Amino acid sequence: MINRAVTEKFAALPTPFYYYDLDLLRRTLDLIHEASSKYGFRTHYAVKANFNPRIVKMVAEAGFGADCVSGNEIRHCLDNGFTADDIVFAGVGKTDREIEFALDSGIFCFNCESMAEIENLSSIAAAKGKVASVAVRINPNVDAFTHNYITTGVEETKFGIHMGELEEVTDFITGSPYLNLKGIHFHIGSQILNLTAFRNLCARINELTEWFSNRCVDIDIINVGGGLGIDHYYPDTMPSIKEYFEIFGTFIRRRDHQQVLFELGRAVVGQCGSLITRVLYIKRVLGVQYAIVDAGMTDLLRPALYQAFHLIENLTSTGDISKYNIVGPVCESADTFARMAELPLTRRGDILAIRSAGAYGEAMASRYNLRDLPRALFSDDIL
């Protein structure tokens, strides 16, 4: 919670910075754990959402696995509390060096996205005399009803193996002494709020597990990916975690030995983070008021890249409501956090919180304009 005591601490600090409410993160982790253990599910945290070491350690301590998309993420997870058999490694473009590192580390599973990648993995494993565990990422052609840029499960994207190629891919893996077909993997997109998308995914998964069992190919792992969205209009609410797991618990038909894995990122860390920024100047252009703040698109790219809405609160004013365009200092018109946002009378020096920024916020920060990377502050440290 960003209450008055927290705001008073902020007032003495240089901005911008990310503020993480670790109590909220703990409660989210507990909720995920409780809701998923009812069905025997396991969640791998999608580290790309936020790789801050303090957060990664907390997630590892809570008993989650990790979903990594680069060799560096694997190394980072090993350095921050995960063991190799907690780690799945995804991504359409794994380099040879990354594959070698993952094999040497002994990770749990490679989520593979093309025949070419699987052939390469097989030959690298052969050269090392190792056997790589593989989950085939299948493109299920299921719409996620979300922003185009974060839709990944329809056929016209670069992700996953087309269902028409499944036979050839399966034959290759089962025929290679250096590969072990452990499971199937899916991920249809991100910030999904229409849960029907997940029901449709379950229906497709059932068709596919049947396809494998008709061919007498044993599948141990059904990894359904991540994607559960958060409510940006109500940053103090939890994601629909119970409903989400209930869908998979109800609709997926699985055999006793088959384990269902999840790769949640945003639902884990999205609501616990806010970007805290100071108002530098108020400027009026053609009747529109601009609040120019010291955070920019380099600190939080989501509004510029996806036109994402993030609720913005003025923590230090209780004046009459007025409308502002909230913009950063970067030399791009896209460096805009909100247009016509309703805020209490806002002045130079006021402190604003840009909410629901725990996922894909700090993680996507850049040094464009040679700006400093945003710092991170944790509720445990300042309270």
Interacting residue ranges for ligand LLP, rule: CB under 6 A: 46, 49, 67, 90, 150, 187, 190-191, 225-228, 263-267, 302, 306, 359-360
Which CB sits closer to ligand LLP, 6 or 201? 201
Which CB sits closer to ligand LLP, 308 or 352? 308
**Burial (CB count <10 Å: 0-12, 13-18, 19+), residue 286:** exposed
Which CB sits closer to ligand LLP, 6 or 235? 235
Peptide bond into 329 cis (omega under 30): no
Provide, rounded to whole angstroms, the least separation between the CB of residue 248 and ligand LLP. 14
Provide, rounded to whole angstroms, the least separation between the CB of residue 375 and ligand LLP. 20
Rounded distance, CA 241 to CA 234, Å? 15
Provide, rounded to whole angstroms, the least separation between the CB of residue 191 and ligand LLP. 5
Closest-CA residue to 182 (of 190, 173, 191): 173
Which CB sits closer to ligand LLP, 10 or 262? 262
Which CB sits closer to ligand LLP, 137 or 278? 137
Residues 6+ apart with CB under 8 A from 262: 36, 41, 42, 43, 44, 223, 224, 225, 226, 245, 248
Provide, rounded to whole angstroms, the least separation between the CB of residue 305 and ligand LLP. 7
How far CA 360 is from CA of 49, 190, 357, in Å, comes to 5, 11, 7
Provide, rounded to whole angstroms, the least separation between the CB of residue 90 and ligand LLP. 4
Provide, rounded to whole angstroms, the least separation between the CB of residue 282 and ligand LLP. 29
Which CB sits closer to ligand LLP, 49 or 276? 49
